[in-house]
Copies of this chain bind each other. A is one copy, B any other.
Amino acid sequence: MKNFQFYNPVRILFGKGQIAALTARIPAGAKVLITYGGGSIKQNGVYDQVKAALAGFETVEFGGIEANPHYETLMRAVELGRAEQVTFLLAVGGGSVLDGTKFIAAAIPFEGAEPWDILARKAKVARAVPFGSVLTLPATGSEMNSGAVITRVATQEKLAFSSPLTFPQFSVLDPETCFTLPPRQIANGIADAFTHVLEQYLTYPINTPLQDRLAEAVLLTLIEEGPKVLANPTDYDAMANFMWSATNALNGTLAAGVVTDWSTHYVAHELTALHGIDHARTLAIVLPPMLRYRQAGKLEKLVQYGQRVWNISQGTDEERAEAAVQATVAFFEQLGIKTRLADYEVGAETIGHIVRRFTERGVKDLGERQDLQVADVEKILTLAL
């Protein structure tokens, strides 16, 4: 096991009716900026519940945070938050609203030249406005971690940051808020959470049997409960199990003491930045060729994954590893997620574009062995055509 630090102070308020519990978690007298997305919360009753819970607070609102939240949009929220001198933020939405709100929280008190530096230059987050969240879409795990990914439209860049100051103070997870989610978003959430686990699990063994089994626990539950949620989004227990699995997929527990990869995410972000493809779908495109191209380096864990998650026990190690990848592809397809670039009308010219961007940005040594180069990324994306 590797040495590690684990720290996660997020308070989870889980279950039906828990939006009302957030009242007690916001400091008395706070001026609250409510952030949200496209407005679905106004149709499904979540907005009304949030407003009722905030009845005792002065509030300001900022809606319209889009998927893969845009720096340009978020900076308007930062201006609003500064002008209104808000003292607390409440994100109401999915991972994009949460990620965007983390950035707003860090950017409002930011004293550097421009808050983009937090992403592009890893400028230190010295202060942040405290915030909480009401999660309405299980997927990213953002509700119980300190990380965020932000897209700048002007430059087609999608970059990540995290800070000990950008953990939510609390996150409300009420499965009932997810009952009206469209199938596409549910499928994306399942695939996103599933890939989060694989990025932390499918590397190479360093004798961490507990972490391996915890990861497999999340994978097996997503495989079991995900299709139930898709078939019946108002199945409370199935939605609750999916929701809690997605949170556990990326709250730090699975990464503690193990070797992690994250190169699938790193490459997939480019496809969203360049083509606007849903984040989860870009993962489903990049992951299979990534695992196939790197089969040798990941062989032991691929075999274990095949055995314990997909009951694959026949054949050579290489055959089992390939069967495990095939099972993963079949799972994505079962969710209604296509896994080839061609399915999204993306051709080889994009690969050249990504290669140029990585070369310019000086990207190298990706992956758990820090041995993945831009030339490898080119071959992997070619396998995804």
Contact = CB atoms under 8 A, between A and B. Distances in A.
Interface stretch (A51-59, A210-218, A277-285, A356-364): A210-218
Interface string A226-248: 00000000000100110011001
A13 interface: yes
A153 interface: no
A326 interface: no
Interface string A1-26: 11111111111111111100100000
Given A210-B244, A210-B245, A221-B210, A14 B5 contact: yes
Given A14-B257, A253-B253, A241 B5 contact: no
Interface residues of A, number: 41
A207 interface: yes
A160 interface: no
A28 to B, nearest CB: 18
Nearest to A242: B210
A383 interface: no
Contact of A7 (B7, B12, B218, B221): B12
A177 to B, nearest CB: 14
A159 interface: no
Contact of A13 (B5, B209, B220, B237): B5
B6 A248 contact: no
A224 B212 CA distance: 13
B210 A217 contact: yes
Given A1-B15, A11-B5, A11-B7, A221 B209 contact: yes
Nearest to A215: B217
Nearest to A224: B209
A138 B238 CA distance: 35
A329 interface: no
Given A6-B12, A217-B217, A1 B209 contact: no
A165 interface: no
15 contacts: A1-B244, A2-B15, A3-B17, A5-B11, A5-B12, A6-B12, A7-B9, A7-B10, A7-B11, A8-B9, A208-B241, A210-B218, A210-B241, A214-B217, A244-B256
Interface of A: 1-18, 21, 207-210, 213-214, 216-218, 220-221, 224-225, 237, 240-241, 244-245, 248, 253, 256-257
Given A5-B12, A8-B8, 9 more contacts: A3-B15, A3-B17, A3-B18, A12-B256, A207-B241, A209-B220, A210-B217, A213-B217, A214-B217
